[in-house]
Amino acid sequence: MKAHAEFNLGNCYLSKTNLTQASIHFKRAGKIYSNGNHVNKVADVLHLLGNIAKLSNDLDTSIAKLHDAGQIYIKTKNMEGAWRIWDDLARSYLAKSNATGLTDEQRDVWAQHALDASLSAAYFAEQLWQVALSSEGRMADLSDQFANHTVTLSETALHFGRLDIFFGTLAYYKGRIRNSTNSSLPSYIESEGELDDKLNDRLFGPIV
C-alpha cells in the first residue's frame, strides 16, 4: 500500500535526521490514510509530525499536532498511543515553558499544561501496565518508555516544587521499570477509569 511505503520512507529519513524529507513523506502518508479507514495511522502521522516540529523548535505546531493525535488515540482507546503522545506532549509543553520572552505567569501556564499531560500519561501507562502483566514479552517493550516518562513527570513536578509527585514518581516507576507486580496507583492519579474533571477540561479544551 502506497501509504505504508510513504510512512516507512518517512521513518527512514527521520532515522537519518533528515527532517524535511521525513515530513514530506509523513504528510503524503497522512493524506492517503485520511481518505481511508485508518484513523490510528492518521494519529501516528500526526504524532511523528509533532515530534519533528519539536525537533525543529516549532513548538506551537508540535503542540497542535500532538494534541490532535492524542484526541484520536483517546477516541479509539489506543492506550499505548495515548501514553506516548501525552508524554511527548508534556515534553513540548515543558519546552514551551522554557522559551525566551515569556513572563513568569506565562511560564507557569505552560508548565501546568506539561504537568497535566504528564499525569495523564501516567494514567494511560497504568492501563497499559495491567495489559502487559498478562502479555508475555511486553515488559521489555515498555521499560524504555517508562524511563522516559519518569524523567518527564519528575521534571514537571519539580517546576512547581511538588516533591510529593517527584518522590512518588521515582519510587513508583522504579518498581515498574524493574517489573514490579505492585498495581496500586499513586494518590495523585485517578484510579476509577476517568480523569479528574478539571484536568480533563484542561487537556481536551482549547489550547491556550
Q: Over the stretch 169-199, which tens digit does the pLDDT of each residue have?
A: 887 777 666 654 444 444 544 444 444 555 4
The rounded distance, in Å, linking the Cα atoms of 70 and 34 is 16
**Does residue 99 contact residue 113 with C-beta atoms inside 8 Å?**
no
- Residue 90 confidence (pLDDT): 92
The rounded distance, in Å, linking the Cα atoms of 171 and 173 is 6
Rounded-to-10 torsion of CA 23, 49, 91, 200? 170
Over 60: is that where the pLDDT of 152 sits?
Answer: yes
Average pLDDT over the chain, rounded to an integer = 81
Lowest mean pLDDT among 59-63, 69-73, 133-137, 184-188: 184-188
The rounded distance, in Å, linking the Cα atoms of 179 and 113 is 29
* Cβ-based neighbours of 22, under 8 Å, separated by 6 or more: 10, 11, 13, 14, 48, 52
Task: Give kind and range of the element (H or E) at residue 46.
Answer: helix 39-55
DSSP-derived 3-state class of residue 76: coil
| Cell of residue 164, nine digits | 510529593
Rounded-to-10 torsion of CA 35, 32, 62, 177? 100
The rounded distance, in Å, linking the Cα atoms of 130 and 191 is 12
User: Taking the CA of residue 85 as centre, how many other CA atoms within 13 Å lie in the half-sphere pointing to its CB?
Assistant: 29
The rounded distance, in Å, linking the Cα atoms of 187 and 207 is 27
Task: Please give the share of the chain, as a percent, with pLDDT higher than 90.
Answer: 44
Instruction: Let me know the angle formed at the C-alpha of 109 by 105 and 110, rounded to the nearest 5 degrees.
Output: 120
Predicted TM-score (pTM) of the model is 0.76
Chain mean position to CA 3: 24
Chain mean position to CA 6: 23
**Does residue 13 contact residue 25 with C-beta atoms inside 8 Å?**
yes
| Cell of residue 172, nine digits | 513508583
